[in-house]
Structure 1
Amino acid sequence: MSSPQSPSPLRWFRALRRTRLGEPCLKTYPLECEGLLRRARVTFQAGHTLKESFRVAQLGAVVRMLEEHESDFVDALGKDLHKPRFEAVVSELILVKNEALYAINNLKKWMQPQHVERNLSTTLDECLMVSEPLGVVFIVGTWCSPVETCLVPLVGAIAAGNCTIISPSECTAHTTQLLHRLIPFYLDNECFHVILAGTRDFPEVVELKFDHVFFTGNRSEGTRIAQAAARTLTPVTLILGGKNPCYVDQDCDIDTTAQRIAWARFHNAGQSLVAPFYILCHTTVTARLVQALKCCLTQFYGSDPRESSSYGRMVNLDIFNRTKNILWRSGKVAVGGQVIEAEKYIAPTILTEVTESDPIMQQDIFGPVLPVLTVNNVDEAIAFINKQEKPLCVYAYSSNSKVITRLMSETSSGSFCSNDSILQSLMVALPFGGVGASGMGSYHGRYSFDTFSHRKSCLLRSTRFECVTYLRYPPYEDRNLSLMTWASTLSQKSQGWCHIL
């Protein structure tokens, strides 16, 4: 399949008029959003997004945008989060490209009607489900992973045939402005728009009445968006942060466990919705695990992480101060604890002697702090996890398969991963989303396509066999009711005789 053509000069000119390179991007107000929504809806209703060729071309344009501007994205993420190039490419750009390429390769299959298995009642009928696009959808990204949380849902929205308005996080100004400049160059200017809205504006924007809202972020903002969406009966997908527990069993490879936990907790300076939030460690291996984690941090970031090119910074002073204040009021610092406000720097920190009542266990913290609590056995760990609200992720490290099975089956969470962390949230073949307080709905791969589609049930039948179906018509007679009741009892064995009536 040939790659889509480069943007035309006319499209470049139109996009340039909207926001010239180098100029600051101005905030988009709800009134302007209403105009963009109206434009997108007119385009959608004209059927512009329905063709497979259009969707494939737009998905290919997303891939080209990331490839042709990789250095720009790396630079923007570096300015916003001090994110190392390795992390920017692996945890942001490659994820989006994988999603887009997977969608391109499978789109034809996804778009085909799905036939329902025939039975005696539908022998002469056709029962199928047709996936149709929802319309104009609103995607709100978060600052933790500003490219991935905007563009991975966008891939699903494009694949499903929707027009889309995207709102990247105002906290990551450089990445947001880059998306605002580049998307008009690569994607259809009538179907896809980027707005620059603040979190306080989201409820008012949502009330403009989209066909779906996809939000990634914290619980308080997600709650406000869900409430605003409910007022207009707008369906929502919410991917919300929370306290992801990580159980470390006495039977596990401590060195490997420490490496995988340290990588997951401290990449992007701990600013992640899916990282382990706290450790429930078996009391017999707590000291060994803490020592192994300390060795990992030295191995990863050197004796002074501040000097490491592989370690990030907090996104802004607000989040820096919140993390710093809670850090100093919880447990005992075993490793790290240093902070430098001018650099928004917080060293990778491990806390021991943490209790359930400590401030860090009462609030959601997106920062490089890892509390370690002790438990005597897996029963205590399960009981502790189940006392909390349902998390986005549960992690368990053990070489005992029975322990893993118990954690997986006896706790409830959006996702589960054993003997590693985060990876389950990145796979295109697995749905990812929350449950309960950690959100609703899911995405990735086919599940993104389904999230942004309406699966319409269709029954196609002829007007033949009216000699049988006449039994359902008035005037109602006991004889007809007896026949239908008899047919209904047969349906228990023969899959739906009565439905043909």
Structure 2
Amino acid sequence: MFYQQRVLVSLLRNSIKLALKQLKNWMAPEKAKTSLTTFPASAEIVSEPLGVVLVISAWNYPFLLSIDPVIGAISAGNAVVLKPSELAPASSALLTKLLEQYLDPSAVRVVEGAVTETSALLEQKWDKIFYTGSSKIGRVIMAAAAKHLTPVVLELGGKSPVVVDSDTDLKVTVRRIIVGKWGCNNGQACVSPDYILTTKEYAPKLIDAMKLELEKFYGKNPIESKDMSRIVNSNHFDRLSKLLDEKEVSDKIVYGGEKDRENLKIAPTILLDVPLDSLIMSEEIFGPLLPILTLNNLEESFDVIRSRPKPLAAYLFTHNKKLKERFAATVSAGGIVVNDIAVHLALHTLPFGGVGESGMGAYHGKFSFDAFSHKKAVLYRSLFGDSAVRYPPYSRGKLRLLKALVDSNIFDLFKVLLGLA
């Protein structure tokens, strides 16, 4: 897991470097076009801080998901209160120590605690609330924000599908799915693949390839692998066990299924054709279980995805250009990745966020700056060139002239001025 943590720290360093490098450009007023209606005038859009914002972060990537939004909030000029997750107490304590040591406490504060402290924070009036976590708690956050008409960014999750076409490089596809699922916190990631859709004909090849690569990566007993993350706590272990122990689900295991509650370890587990109405297909898994659903043809995958709430991410593996284009055009998700898993997170030029039940709002790069800024419209007019057309008494001629001005129609304006209309 040391390797993964180094990667996450590098992502944070890149976010900070980008903000330092680009902040002057982000802050610069954006010129806006004007029209005949306001002539002579100039206009611009000015970014200003919202004020004091609350950031409530998640436990699965406690540093990345805490500091990354704080970078955007500070860049935009806000004061920030950060509430780390109590489910990662060591990280929460370290964040408190480091931020108090290196950041101005009058601008950035950390509040530790659990439900009581979070509830107390939500009773206060904020200028924006940024939350990363489950849709269940997202609803609580939104309800609390509504009392003060506080805008929110909700980074939630959902059941992110992976569609695998037979026209693909099977080995590369399988390796990228494995790393995207089990290499990312053993499935405890909001953009982790939640289920696979493929054809009945192709499924056996896909499963055999996954078994082969999983053994290469994690050995014959993956629970003992140092590269396999633990489940965060006993409550989440029991939740995942409940998903797996349903009778109609446990019979569908084709690989894995081993559990070690004492060490909070669950092996990578593949299931084939679990019932669509089972618990494992009704809620976000957020763990090392991966159902594969088989279809008569890949066209059916679009119906399956569209019949469910919009996910945070959707993935497709194929060489087929038309399928890529159709997938990107018709599947609604927070983000689409073709031929890889979760790598869109590393691009600061792309917004990261959900849609529908997977969240609202987006951040990363300039999108973080924008998420914590108010875009203020500013219009500068001259006191010269004042027109009598806007003032009483009104006439039909004034009305025609005013209409031409509002429509910004230069041809009609000249016709009115020349007495031709």
User: Structure 1-normalised TM-score?
Assistant: 0.79
Alpha-carbon distance in 2 for matches of 1:107, 1:489: 37
1:482 positional shift: 2.6
In the other structure, the counterpart of 2:419 is none
Alpha-carbon distance in 2 for matches of 1:347, 1:285: 24
In the other structure, the counterpart of 1:27 is none
| Residue number among 342, 354, 357 corresponding to 1:434 in the alignment | 354
SS in 1 for 2:201: coil
Alpha-carbon distance in 1 for matches of 2:111, 2:410: 55
Corresponding position: 1:480 with 2:398: yes
User: Which amino acid in the other structure matches residue 411 of structure 1?
Assistant: V
1:427 positional shift: 1.4
Corresponding position: 1:446 with 2:370: no
Aligned runs of 1:302-313 on 2, under 5 Å?
Answer: 302-313=219-230
The 3 A distance-change label for structure 1 pair 208 and 404 is same
CA contact (8 A) 1:204 1:228 kept: no
Alpha-carbon distance in 1 for matches of 2:284, 2:116: 20
In the other structure, the counterpart of 1:190 is 106
Corresponding position: 1:380 with 2:300: yes
In the other structure, the counterpart of 1:278 is 195
In the other structure, the counterpart of 2:204 is 287
In the other structure, the counterpart of 1:338 is 258
In the other structure, the counterpart of 1:231 is 147
Aligned runs of 1:319-398 on 2, under 5 Å?
Answer: 319-329=236-246, 330=249, 332-398=252-318
User: Which amino acid in the other structure matches residue 330 of structure 2?
Assistant: E
In the other structure, the counterpart of 2:15 is 99
SS in 1 for 2:276: coil
User: Which amino acid in the other structure matches residue 48 of structure 2?
Assistant: E
SS in 2 for 1:480: helix
Aligned runs of 1:6-85 on 2, under 5 Å?
Answer: 84-85=1-2
Alpha-carbon distance in 2 for matches of 1:387, 1:492: 50
The 3 A distance-change label for structure 1 pair 200 and 277 is farther
User: Which amino acid in the other structure matches residue 310 of structure 2?
Assistant: K
1:87 positional shift: 0.9
Alpha-carbon distance in 2 for matches of 1:218, 1:324: 19
1:283 positional shift: 1.9
User: What per-residue deviation string (whole Å, max 9, x for no partner) do you get for residues 240-279 of structure 1?
Assistant: 0110011001211111111000101102111000011100
CA contact (8 A) 1:429 1:445 kept: yes
Alpha-carbon distance in 2 for matches of 1:247, 1:395: 6
Moved more, 349-358 or 224-233: 349-358
SS in 2 for 1:281: strand
The 3 A distance-change label for structure 1 pair 120 and 361 is same
CA contact (8 A) 1:378 1:403 kept: no
The 3 A distance-change label for structure 1 pair 245 and 163 is same
CA contact (8 A) 2:255 2:271 kept: yes
CA contact (8 A) 1:274 1:425 kept: no
SS in 2 for 1:343: coil
Alpha-carbon distance in 2 for matches of 1:179, 1:204: 20
User: What per-residue deviation string (whole Å, max 9, x for no partner) do you get for residues 152-197 of structure 1?
Assistant: 1011011111110001110011111110111100000111001113
Alpha-carbon distance in 1 for matches of 2:405, 2:106: 54
The 3 A distance-change label for structure 1 pair 485 and 494 is closer
SS in 2 for 1:454: strand
SS in 2 for 1:342: coil
CA contact (8 A) 2:36 2:405 kept: no
User: Which amino acid in the other structure matches residue 282 of structure 1?
Assistant: T
Corresponding position: 1:259 with 2:175: yes
CA contact (8 A) 2:192 2:286 kept: no
Moved more, 366-375 or 484-493: 484-493
1:490 positional shift: 5.1
| Residue number among 384, 389, 399 corresponding to 1:471 in the alignment | 389
User: Structure 2-normalised TM-score?
Assistant: 0.94
User: What per-residue deviation string (whole Å, max 9, x for no partner) do you get for residues 307-343 of structure 1?
Assistant: 2111110001010100011112225111110111111
SS in 1 for 2:182: helix
Alpha-carbon distance in 2 for matches of 1:128, 1:494: 27
Alpha-carbon distance in 2 for matches of 1:175, 1:261: 28
User: What per-residue deviation string (whole Å, max 9, x for no partner) do you get for residues 268-297 of structure 1?
Assistant: 111000011100012221011111111121
Gaps of at least 5 residues in structure 1 are 1-83
Alpha-carbon distance in 2 for matches of 1:158, 1:208: 20
Alpha-carbon distance in 1 for matches of 2:86, 2:408: 62
SS in 2 for 1:357: coil
CA contact (8 A) 1:120 1:494 kept: no
| Residue number among 18, 40, 44 corresponding to 1:124 in the alignment | 40
Alpha-carbon distance in 2 for matches of 1:103, 1:454: 18
User: What per-residue deviation string (whole Å, max 9, x for no partner) do you get for residues 93-139 of structure 1?
Assistant: 11111111111110111111111135555563110011001111100
In the other structure, the counterpart of 1:409 is 329
The 3 A distance-change label for structure 1 pair 493 and 452 is farther
- Count matched residues: 411
Corresponding position: 1:159 with 2:79: no
CA contact (8 A) 1:203 1:224 kept: no
In the other structure, the counterpart of 1:86 is 3
User: What per-residue deviation string (whole Å, max 9, x for no partner) do you get for residues 362-390 of structure 1?
Assistant: 12221111110011223200000000001
Alpha-carbon distance in 1 for matches of 2:327, 2:411: 39
| Residue number among 111, 116, 136 corresponding to 2:27 in the alignment | 111
Q: Percent identity?
A: 38
User: Which amino acid in the other structure matches residue 116 of structure 1?
Assistant: A
In the other structure, the counterpart of 1:298 is 215
SS in 1 for 2:262: helix
Alpha-carbon distance in 2 for matches of 1:109, 1:312: 40
Alpha-carbon distance in 2 for matches of 1:494, 1:153: 50
CA contact (8 A) 1:199 1:221 kept: no
Q: Which has the higher helix share?
A: 1
The 3 A distance-change label for structure 1 pair 485 and 157 is same
SS in 2 for 1:299: helix
Corresponding position: 1:174 with 2:90: yes
The 3 A distance-change label for structure 1 pair 493 and 481 is closer
